[in-house]
Amino acid sequence: MAPTTLPGGTWTLGDLTVTRFGYGAMQLAGPWVMGPPADHDGALAVLREAVALGITHIDTSAAYGPHVTNRLIREALHPYPESLHVVTKVGADRDQQGGWPTARDPESLRRQIRENLETLGVETLDLVNLRLGDAEGPKPGSLAEALETLVALQQEGVIRHLGLSNVTPEQVAEAQTVAPIVCVQNQYNLAHRGDDDLIDDLARQGVAYVPFFPLGGFTPLQSSALSAVAERLGATPMGVALAWLLRRSPNILLIPGTKSVAHLRENVAGAGLSLSGDDLAELDRIGR
Ligand SMILES: NC(=O)c1ccc[n+]([C@@H]2O[C@H](COP(=O)([O-])OP(=O)(O)OC[C@H]3O[C@@H](n4cnc5c(N)ncnc54)[C@H](OP(=O)(O)O)[C@@H]3O)[C@@H](O)[C@H]2O)c1
């Protein structure tokens, strides 16, 4: 991959080089991640702008829509540039009410992999995260059986690398006895700091940590301290929150979501802000 000018530079997931500034496609689907987007062409424009800006990491799942974001990614970007890596996840389906029922038995996982391959239009998925827990967060319990199904699919050649999502540190350790894990995707942001120790531990091991809801997700981050730092720097609070994440640890990869080309550009610019020691100390107090 050519050198990037995006903030944060690059990271290597297994043998895949990605920009640390990525893009999360989930909210491109309709309300509550169900159905088509209100603005189909606008969604395609955001995906194309992400690639035009040099982003090489897009996060998705067949469960988003379901199948909506994968199809948008395919429509906007297929045939994919060689440098682009689309990361997907399996472990849940969608029901009629928009719920996310668990689907981690071998047959369901194999079906979800097939659905991802078909809707993204690829023969191999670059990176698949096994998503555990539920909408409230990680839940303890063994992941071995589910992960072994994905390892079998990896050996069959349809998955290149494996990651985990919505997991406890114990589940990460268990997974690492089953297969190499290149990333962990959990909820984390300035105000939600439960994974601080896990991030540091993964950084020591050279494993990426990919915070989901980096901007607060469905309830965007709001903090007077964040707004004060942003005002002082002449930046947006969202930009400052992303710059803080890039500074927090070198193994953090960003996948902020947006439906807006303007917000995408604003977020890239914001993530490149330099934060002083005083800024960092003030921001650090938000989630402690
Ligand atoms: N593994 C998992 O279980 C899991 C769970 C949730 C999400 N994810 C992944 O994480 C990615 C990120 O999560 P997310 O998109 O839900 O949440 P997010 O990135 O924390 O926040 C997205 C929200 O922030 C708003 N926003 C973005 N930039 C903004 C700006 N510059 N100014 C004002 N508002 C701005 C967006 O609204 P606009 O559209 O108006 O910009 C959207 O409402 C998802 O796309 C998905 O791929 C994974």
Instruction: Answer yes or no: are the C-beta atoms of 185 and 210 closer than 8 Å.
Output: yes
Instruction: Answer yes or no: are the C-beta atoms of 86 and 24 closer than 8 Å.
Output: no
Contacts of 234-238 with CB under 8 Å at 24 or more apart are 235/269, 235/270, 235/273, 236/266, 236/270, 238/263, 238/266, 238/267, 238/270
Three-class SS of residue 173?
helix
| The Cα angle at residue 20 between residues 9 and 192, in degrees rounded to 5 | 130
Q: What is the pLDDT of residue 287?
A: 87
Task: Report the C-alpha gap between 111 and 58 in whole angstroms.
Answer: 22
Pocket residues: Cβ below 6 A from ligand 1: 24-27, 59, 89, 131, 165-166, 185, 212-217, 220, 236, 238, 255-260, 263, 266-267
| The Cα angle at residue 35 between residues 260 and 29, in degrees rounded to 5 | 25
Tell the residue nearest (CA) to atom 25 of ligand 1. Answer: 258
Q: What is the pLDDT of residue 3?
A: 84
Atom of ligand 1 nearest to the CA of 186: 1
Q: What is the pLDDT of residue 157?
A: 98
Per-residue pLDDT of the chain (288 residues; tens, 9 = 90+): 678 999 999 999 999 999 999 999 999 999 999 999 999 999 999 999 999 999 999 999 999 999 999 999 999 999 999 999 999 999 999 999 999 999 999 999 999 999 999 999 999 999 999 999 998 999 999 999 999 999 999 999 999 999 999 999 999 999 999 999 999 999 999 999 999 999 999 999 999 999 999 999 999 999 999 999 999 999 999 999 999 999 999 999 999 999 999 999 999 999 999 999 999 999 999 987
Q: What is the pLDDT of residue 2?
A: 72
Atom of ligand 1 nearest to the CA of 266: 31
> Has 23 been annotated as catalytic?
no
* Ligand 1 centroid distance, CA of 28 (Å): 9
CA 210 remoteness from chain centre = 6
Atom of ligand 1 nearest to the CA of 60: 47
Q: What is the pLDDT of residue 258?
A: 98
State residue 69 phi and psi, 5-degree precision: -70, -35
